[in-house]
Chain A
């Protein structure tokens, strides 16, 4: 997989309860000209190799550890995929210091309790809000071109939400958590960046 300096590995929960923040991450990262990459659509027994390959192909990775609670269905289980993929990214960054990883959380000081191995790492706290994700992405990255403001990003986000049914219809999909819809939403968000911020 070719390494690209614009690519960011997006390690977040893919489920309906996370829809707002999923769209917020796509919007915010596209607004600063990054290319989000997801594990959506990666299945089968080579999944782990492909996830590792995807992390290695990205210059940055964002790991949202806000979903640490047990799910509703029996047997009630916490989700380990996100911390596991964070571990892969940290190991990769140890060997390749050019890879930068960021931890996002919704609750302050919870990371010290859930993953004390990361003591000394300051997570970006988004408080579970769309605006919080925008603010924290701006705290993590500064783009070379026009730096978008949070109100710009919110405008883009609202329009992306409105356009979701059209994107789903074009893809003939029922869910936004598919590989095709994810890449289509990223293209739509890049179009909105161009519309509101210019292509500089």
Chain B
């Protein structure tokens, strides 16, 4: 019977993983943002929540009004 190979190393950090794969940090950050994590593995939102989007639109409208 085959025995699985035991991988005796600690997982690399995301920063180190990107480096070993030859992906520059800025590009890696963009890719990680796509899957919803940052370099430290913290979950970040991939799309703005509806309420945030609404607030964003309102504030930009306010900004436009104030510049007029």
Contacts and interface: CB of A to CB of B under 8 A. Distances in A.
A159 B7 CA distance: 25
Given A163-B34, A187-B18, A145 B41 contact: no
Given A142-B5, A187-B21, 17 more contacts: A139-B2, A140-B5, A141-B4, A142-B4, A142-B6, A143-B11, A144-B7, A163-B34, A183-B22, A184-B23, A184-B27, A188-B32, A191-B31, A192-B35, A195-B41, A198-B41, A199-B14
Chain A interface size range? 35 or more
A60 interface: yes
A86 interface: no
8 contacts: A6-B12, A100-B5, A122-B2, A144-B8, A186-B21, A187-B18, A195-B35, A195-B41
Given A163-B35, A170-B27, A199 B13 contact: yes
Contacts of B35: 159-160, 163, 188, 191-192, 195
Interface string B1-45: 010111111111110011011110001101110111100110100
Nearest to A186: B21
